[in-house]
Homo-oligomer: A and B are copies of this chain.
């Protein structure tokens, strides 16, 4: 019974900033640097969702990638694409939009509906710029 990991990439473009409302502009600049610009900045984020499972003997599929894509769009992309991560996204309310926190929040949004497809969640990977990315495996 072979276990295969399968990954789908999605993309979204969003505004955000890193700053704590309780901190002074100086402290936010000291800790978050240019990411604390009060008027926001933004990124083209790349998101890779990886699930794992045993390929179906008939179809050869671990999961129907169209179904998986539909769920990722329904639970994540429509909330974050061309949005402000700090103002527009219900499941990010009260959390700083660090890439680390985004990965954890996306995992929470996706785990249950994706596993209902009959596979196991494996990893959320998010690339913020070509020079940095994070990965979260759910624990």
Q: Which residues of A contact B (CB under 8 A)?
A: 2-11, 13-16, 18, 20, 31-35, 37, 39-44, 55, 58-62, 64-66, 81-84, 87-88, 95-101, 103-104, 129-137, 139
Contacts and interface: CB of A to CB of B under 8 A. Distances in A.
A7 B129 contact: no
Contact of A130 (B2, B39, B44, B129): B44
A46 to B, nearest CB: 9
Contacts of A99: 6
B2 A55 contact: no
A129 B11 contact: yes
A3 to B, nearest CB: 7
Given A34-B82, A88-B39, A60 B101 contact: yes
